[in-house]
Amino acid sequence: SSEISVSTPFAIGSRVILRSIDDKSEKPDYAVELNATNFDSVLKETPAAYAVVEFFAHWCPACRNYKPQYEKIAKIFNGADAVHPGIILMTRVDCALKINTDLCDKFSVGHYPMLLWGPPSKFVSGSWNPKQEKSEIRSIDDGRTADRLLNWINKQLSSSYRLDDEKFENDQLQKNASDIGQIARAIYDIEEATSTAFDIILDHKMIKSETQASLVKFFQLLVVHHPSRRCRKGTSEILVDFDDFSSNKKETDSAGEKGALRNYQICGKDVPRGYWMFCRGSKNETRGFSCGLWVLLHSLSVRVDDGESQMAFTTICDFIHSFFICEECRQHFYSMCSSVSSPFKKSREFVLWLWDTHNKVNKRLMKEEASLGTGDPEYPKIIWPPRQLCPSCYLSGSGKNDGNSRIEWDHDEVYKFLMGYYGKTLVTLYKDKELLVEKRADGVLAEDLAVSASAHAVVVPVGAALAIAVASCAFGALACYWRQHQKSRKYKYLHSLKNI
């Protein structure tokens, strides 16, 4: 610094130079900067099981020196390129900013930098003080270097993370196949798969006059039965405006159409995150999207009512046929759809059909992957669920699930298991508690009732998507209803604007 001050006679100039030297050496921050306005929402939304919050002050020299150490750890855990994403969220709060004064007080920040550790939900609207007993938030007393901080974390989690772990050395596999709770992490993959599917459809310009009806029907299914509330919301927004894209289709080039739909975030602004949790493979190229898609389909199947089951079946078959870009997969799946001779009357039949169909795919892939070596070695295909996951699904003494022996299933137990697994268990970890809004006996959600109460007249605009919506009211009753009301609100709004 003495060199700089000698060569630069003006104090302001030297500051500028210092800053620019600094900028050049500055790497992107991996830790998420939080403040009083986003602290609760970021910690509420994160899929990570733990959070570290570093309280610091930007003027504090010790904090500046500590930053590269902390960043080394943040790089391992935060973001799409992280080696171990979605497990720990690394954050920081600048207590020197006025806006954060109360927040830092609530967490009894007495020195800088100060690190706290705990489940993210415990930080939301939370507080901490050093004398508090039985708090799930703990002070990290030995995190002065990256190595020591990682050691501290490893002790908490009985893990063996290392600073030089490389991408996709995924050592945190869900090795314990009998751990039913693992599926709770899949809610985030279902969101990821929904958003990825939407991106693929746009990237490959797959919305054509002959595929559009399939997409609208699938969106209707999502609006009503997607297990994530923000995906239901995002899909409904697309559905409401869908006519506008399709009616302008002839005039707009595909880039324009794609561009317009690109403005929609089907599962909200935080998705896609760029990584998988339940569906994370041991290699970059395995599992991921196709696993997430299966889990989405199963989670939809357990949520439809008896009267909707046939419609949900054809909707899923058509969607996969039109939009699943894996040619072999969509052909195989569609031929299995086509072999169903009589319509489903009960959702139980549909749930079990999807389960059995998935097992047929597993069985075929077991042989293929063994001979070609294309599977994920850590996740060999099995006839599912394994006995450890659902002992009662197996009639006593029936065969092994290696694809060769015949298993005698207790279908009542399998159905019960699937309903629990993809139903309640799937959403137990989900942070968006509004998701758990009670359904009324007639299946109408409170949020939809709020809409109906505020919308008076039903003005039905004539459009392709709406025509399809009306035609598919078997399960779309709520979706059509919701859409018509939204549409009517929008048109009324536009009309009132025109009149101004």
Ligand X SMILES: Cc1cc2nc3c(=O)[nH]c(=O)nc-3n(C[C@H](O)[C@H](O)[C@H](O)COP(=O)(O)OP(=O)(O)OC[C@H]3O[C@@H](n4cnc5c(N)ncnc54)[C@H](O)[C@@H]3O)c2cc1C
Active site residues: 60, 63
Question: Closest approach of Cβ 271 to ligand X, in Å?
Answer: 19
Question: Closest approach of Cβ 379 to ligand X, in Å?
Answer: 4
Residues contacting ligand X: total by CB under 6 A: 22
Q: Count Cβ atoms within 10 A of the Cβ of residue 389 and give its class: 0-12 exposed, 13-18 middle, 19 or more buried.
A: middle
Nearest CA to 317 among 304, 330, 326? 330
Is 161 or 294 the residue whose CB approaches ligand X more closely? 294
Q: Does 332 bind ligand X (CB under 6 A)?
A: yes
Residue 287 main-chain phi, psi, to 5 deg: 60, -125
| Residue span binding ligand X (CB under 6 A) among the ranges 114-122, 195-203, 263-271, 351-359 | 351-359
Spatial distance between the Cα atoms of 377 and 381, rounded to a whole number of angstroms: 9
Is 50 or 294 the residue whose CB approaches ligand X more closely? 294
Spatial distance between the Cα atoms of 77 and 90, rounded to a whole number of angstroms: 7
Question: Closest approach of Cβ 465 to ligand X, in Å?
Answer: 25
Spatial distance between the Cα atoms of 88 and 75, rounded to a whole number of angstroms: 11
What x/- string results for residues 169 through 188 when contact with ligand X is judged by CB under 6 A? Answer: --------------------
Q: Does 351 bind ligand X (CB under 6 A)?
A: no
Is 82 or 295 the residue whose CB approaches ligand X more closely? 295
Residue 37 main-chain phi, psi, to 5 deg: -85, -30
Q: Does 361 bind ligand X (CB under 6 A)?
A: yes
What x/- string results for residues 265 through 304 when contact with ligand X is judged by CB under 6 A? Answer: --------------x-------x--xx-xxx--x------
Strand spans (E) along 43-126: 50-56, 88-94, 114-118
| Residue span binding ligand X (CB under 6 A) among the ranges 38-46, 210-218, 228-236, 327-335 | 327-335
List the one residue from 36, 124, 365, 459 that touches ligand X (CB under 6 A).
365
Is 329 or 340 the residue whose CB approaches ligand X more closely? 329
Residue 197 tokens, joined = 């599917």
List the one residue from 112, 152, 355, 481 that touches ligand X (CB under 6 A).
355
C-beta of residue 64 within 8 angstroms of C-beta of residue 57: no
Is 5 or 374 the residue whose CB approaches ligand X more closely? 374
Spatial distance between the Cα atoms of 211 and 197, rounded to a whole number of angstroms: 14
Helix, strand, coil percent content, the chain, rounded in steps of 5: 55, 5, 40
| Residue span binding ligand X (CB under 6 A) among the ranges 259-267, 300-308, 352-360, 439-447 | 352-360
What x/- string results for residues 373 through 402 when contact with ligand X is judged by CB under 6 A? Answer: ---x--x----x------------------
Spatial distance between the Cα atoms of 365 and 377, rounded to a whole number of angstroms: 13
Is 264 or 334 the residue whose CB approaches ligand X more closely? 334
Containing 47, the helix (H) or strand (E) segment is none
Residue 92 main-chain phi, psi, to 5 deg: -145, 150
Q: Residue 138 pairs with which residues in a beta bridge?
A: 117
List the one residue from 301, 359, 425, 472 that touches ligand X (CB under 6 A).
359
| Residue span binding ligand X (CB under 6 A) among the ranges 119-127, 146-154, 242-250, 354-362 | 354-362
Question: Closest approach of Cβ 228 to ligand X, in Å?
Answer: 17
Pick out residues in 98-157 that bind ligand X (CB under 6 A). none
Spatial distance between the Cα atoms of 29 and 23, rounded to a whole number of angstroms: 12
Spatial distance between the Cα atoms of 496 and 352, rounded to a whole number of angstroms: 50
Cα of first residue to Cα of last residue in the chain, in angstroms, is 63
Question: Closest approach of Cβ 399 to ligand X, in Å?
Answer: 16
**302-332 burial: b if 16+ Cβ within 10 Å, else e:** bbbeeebbbbbbbbbbbbbbbbbeeeeebeb
Would you give the DSSP letter of residue 430? Answer: -
Question: Closest approach of Cβ 284 to ligand X, in Å?
Answer: 13
Question: Closest approach of Cβ 253 to ligand X, in Å?
Answer: 31
Is 426 or 480 the residue whose CB approaches ligand X more closely? 426
Question: Closest approach of Cβ 218 to ligand X, in Å?
Answer: 13
Pick out residues in 304-323 that bind ligand X (CB under 6 A). 320
Spatial distance between the Cα atoms of 362 and 403, rounded to a whole number of angstroms: 8
Spatial distance between the Cα atoms of 306 and 318, rounded to a whole number of angstroms: 20
Question: Closest approach of Cβ 358 to ligand X, in Å?
Answer: 3
Is 18 or 329 the residue whose CB approaches ligand X more closely? 329
Question: Closest approach of Cβ 340 to ligand X, in Å?
Answer: 15
Q: What is the DSSP string of 227-271?
A: SSHHHHHHHHHHHHHHHHHHHTTTTS-HHHHHHHHHT--TT-TT-
> CA 264, 265, 269: angle at the middle one, nearest 5?
135
Is 415 or 482 the residue whose CB approaches ligand X more closely? 415
C-beta of residue 152 within 8 angstroms of C-beta of residue 142: yes
| Residue span binding ligand X (CB under 6 A) among the ranges 25-33, 71-79, 337-345, 357-365 | 357-365
Is 157 or 365 the residue whose CB approaches ligand X more closely? 365
Spatial distance between the Cα atoms of 57 and 231, rounded to a whole number of angstroms: 37
Residue 149 main-chain phi, psi, to 5 deg: -65, -45
Residues that bind ligand X (CB under 6 A): 279, 287, 290-291, 293-295, 298, 320, 328-329, 332-333, 355, 358-359, 361-362, 365, 376, 379, 384
